[in-house]
Amino acid sequence: MRHIILAAVSSIALAAPTMTALAQTAVAAPAATNPLLGDWITDPQGVPPYGMIKAADYQPALDSALAEARQELSAITRVRSAPTFANTIEALERAGLRYQAISAAFFNVAGADATPEIQAAEEPISAMLTDFSNAMMLDPALFARVDAVYRQRASLGLSPEQTRLLEETHRRFVRAGAALAPEQRARVAEINAEMSKLGVAFGQKLLADQKASSVILTEAEMAGIPAGAKAAAAKAAADAGQPGYLITATRSAVEPFLTTATNRAAREKVFKAFDNRGANANDNNTAAIIRRMLELRIERAKLMGAATHADFVLEDSMAKTPEAAMDLLMQIYRPALERAKEEEAALRSLAAVDGVTDIEAWDWRFYAEKERARRYNLDEAELKQYFPLDGMVAALMETTGRLYGITFVERPDLPVYAPGVKAWEIREADGTVVGLFFADWFARPTKRPGAWMNSLRDQSALLGYKAVVVNNCNFTQPAPGERATISLDDAETLFHEFGHALHGLFSQVRYPSLSGTAVSRDFVELPSQIHEHWISEPSILRAHAKNAAGEPIPEAMLASLLEARTFNQGFVTVQQISSAILDMQLHQMTSVPTDFDAVAWEKAQLTALGVPEAVGMRHRLAHFSHIFDGGYSAGYYAYSWAEAMDADGFEAFKESGDLFNPVLAAKLRREVLARGNTRDPAESYIAFRGRLPNADALLENRGLK
């Protein structure tokens, strides 16, 4: 059972009840009028009936679905015959399907369109799911059956995938605390419940502070901003009932502003509003949540027999240990820091012409863009007109079509959860349906920051399911009548998230618990990051990077753009790697001082690392949702670990002389994208590349070698 618990929780009883006891207290199903409880009319695709669902429908639907799941799990423990793979492990894969579907439908909306009604439902729903997860994973009778099958595994004649499922199922129970003494199991359940509640609170505080940190600017403060971006900011202000121009505190809005705004005071205002999210002296400050989460993570790790939370997390990863992860991070960080210092010196000379003696964090992007324009004859505003969103989506479709032979067939008939969301059916060249893909490109006040992929349904041959996946981004909405344009970095994000989507769509496994992206954190980013490389392929850009008149990007501009790909990589890399290092250091703590101050601790660590103040972290702790509301605690290093693989993996295509080599693409699909978690991820990578990578290709890819 690949059960869905996405952040959240409430306190629960000291002793986790058994599934049998839970089944006896199951609540009655609500009225059949609830659209989530009937047969979804969108089946067999498995799309939630979003057009019919109200926020008030989710909680009663889950009440009923969880009662059904409890009965299904209780039936497994009541089987009189001895535990077998079929009546225990495979039975778990078939249990809880309704609640998983409803949970996926809810959390998809909770991340992308968290209206006040959805937010109000999030904490009680998360609490229900965490209570259910605790009861299931800590049920002695259920674990006894799983453990009995596990102990016989060598004599059961299982297939490799069945063996992997058995081992992974047993591992999940053990890592959840099922093998602990009763009082320890009860404490783990309490910790899980409180952490889930804290995760919801962190996400909601961050979203509220993001809204509160939007900045209203005057005409003078918008000096240097391109006309299209100004029009979009004016519309955003008007929509908020404000005069002037509104810059939302999202990366997709702030970074372009910092790059082009000539008013230094306005840059400072916008940067500080964005950078201080979660650290302001208001009700949305996240410091107390961070401190309590650290205490709970440390306590749980000790209960599980691990030295630290980082040790506990990395047991279930390719890296295996915090030391191995830190070793890779430092191999990247040291040359990146040297490059960042060189970059800062160059920018300081450029800024001196404007009378700016010290480069501040709000100055870096502005002067870096000036230096890039000087060095490569590039103008960001002029360049952006050749990157329309619809053109980049077409580039994405052509790329995946050339690599894998798939086609996109738009499905406007499918229900969506918010205006502007689009749906496609993904098909093989012979017309066979692979799965469904939903795209939600634009920012909205109710959407959490960042970009991500959700799964509404995991592929499974056992259940006859095809994948249904969603990509979310936070691109800026254009003004009425204007084209949506994005940057090359945004286009990379577009490709990145669709790489995750392909991981889900191309999955070819039997069991849902092993499907698609159900792999370790430091492997899950490989499919997404390797897919980014194709947006820089000249033939793709020549075909799709076109301005409003349909004119392709000029060859000189294209050549300069590609030449500039490694420009400013010291800054970019130090920002990312310092975030990963602090995440790992934070979660190697063995205790939390009573006066722990996340802001002060962060500053001390950055000083010790020698991170220039003008560079800083990509994600400050106060708003680091990856590690406090996103499942990446002690795992942000995974992006760099995966980058070592993606750079090396893409090198295989370059070595072949054909970036769209069909044989290699088929091998990547077969050995990596289709495999899910049916074998150790290192085996999957070796099956594709022939060996494991090191940091060399990564450093070369970033121009740091």
> What is the crossing angle of helices 488-505 and 521-532, to 10°?
120
Ramachandran sector of residue 305 (left: φ over 0; alpha: ψ -120 to 50; beta: rest)? left
Q: How do residues 316-371 score in pLDDT, each as one tens digit?
A: 899 999 999 999 999 999 999 999 999 999 999 999 999 999 999 999 999 999 99
Looking at the predicted structure, is the pLDDT value of residue 212 above 60? yes
The CATH number of the domain holding residue 483 is 3.40.390.10
Give the span between the Cα atoms of 705 and 697, in whole angstroms. Answer: 9
Q: Name the CA radius of gyration of the chain, rounded.
A: 25
C-beta pairs of 554-561 under 8 Å, 24+ apart in sequence: 556/377, 557/378, 557/382, 557/383, 557/386, 560/376, 560/377, 560/378, 561/376, 561/378, 561/383, 561/488
Residue 299 within a domain:
no
Residue 632 within a domain:
no
Same domain, 24 and 170: yes
Residue 130 within a domain:
yes
Looking at the predicted structure, is the pLDDT value of residue 18 above 50? no
Give the span between the Cα atoms of 660 and 402, in whole angstroms. Answer: 7
pLDDT at site 637: 95
Residue bearing the bigger pLDDT, 534 or 9? 534
Same domain, 513 and 395: yes
Name the domain count of the chain: 3
Which secondary-structure segment (H or E) carries 543?
Answer: helix 538-544
Residue 14 within a domain:
no
Same domain, 70 and 218: no
DSSP state of 70: H
Same domain, 186 and 235: no
Looking at the predicted structure, is the pLDDT value of residue 654 above 60? yes
Which secondary-structure segment (H or E) carries 204?
Answer: helix 182-212
Same domain, 37 and 185: yes
Residue 60 within a domain:
yes
Provide the residue range defining the domain that includes 423: 389-518
pLDDT at site 42: 60
Quote the tokens at residue 161: 């995938």
Cα distances from 440 to residues 142, 256, 322, 349, in angstroms, run 40, 21, 35, 42
Which three-class secondary structure state does DSSP give residue 441?
Answer: strand
Q: pLDDT grade, residue 10 (50/70/90)? A: very low
Mean pLDDT, residues 282-290 taken together: 97
Same domain, 151 and 228: no
Same domain, 426 and 464: yes
C-beta pairs of 597-604 under 8 Å, 24+ apart in sequence: 597/287, 598/286, 598/287, 598/290, 598/291, 598/622, 599/279, 599/287
Same domain, 221 and 185: no
Contact 363, 614 (CB under 8 A): yes
Residue 546 within a domain:
no
Last residue of a domain, one of 260, 275, 290: 275
Give the span between the Cα atoms of 531 and 197, in whole angstroms. Answer: 35
Question: Any idea which residue has 């609170």 for tokens?
Answer: 201
Q: pLDDT grade, residue 432 (50/70/90)? A: very high
Same domain, 119 and 25: yes
Q: pLDDT grade, residue 449 (50/70/90)? A: confident
DSSP state of 421: -
Q: Which residues contact 427 (CB under 8 A, 6 or more apart)?
A: 406, 407, 408, 409, 433, 434
Q: How do residues 433-446 score in pLDDT, each as one tens digit?
A: 999 999 999 999 99
Q: pLDDT grade, residue 611 (50/70/90)? A: very high
pLDDT at site 17: 31
Last residue of a domain, one of 453, 483, 518: 518
Same domain, 181 and 221: no
Name the nearest CA neighbour of 586 among 573, 574, 599. 599
Residue 174 within a domain:
yes
Last residue of a domain, one of 171, 198, 225: 198
Give the span between the Cα atoms of 12 and 192, in whole angstroms. Answer: 10
Beta-strand relationship, 245-247 and 407-410: unpaired
Catalytic entry in 497, 525, 602, 643: 497
Contact 350, 370 (CB under 8 A): yes
pLDDT at site 26: 34
Give the span between the Cα atoms of 366 and 353, in whole angstroms. Answer: 14
Which secondary-structure segment (H or E) carries 454?
Answer: strand 452-457
pLDDT at site 38: 85
Same domain, 261 and 150: no
pTM (2 decimals)?
A: 0.88
Residue 643 within a domain:
no
The CATH number of the domain holding residue 23 is 1.10.1370.40
Same domain, 178 and 271: no
pLDDT at site 609: 97
410 catalytically annotated: no
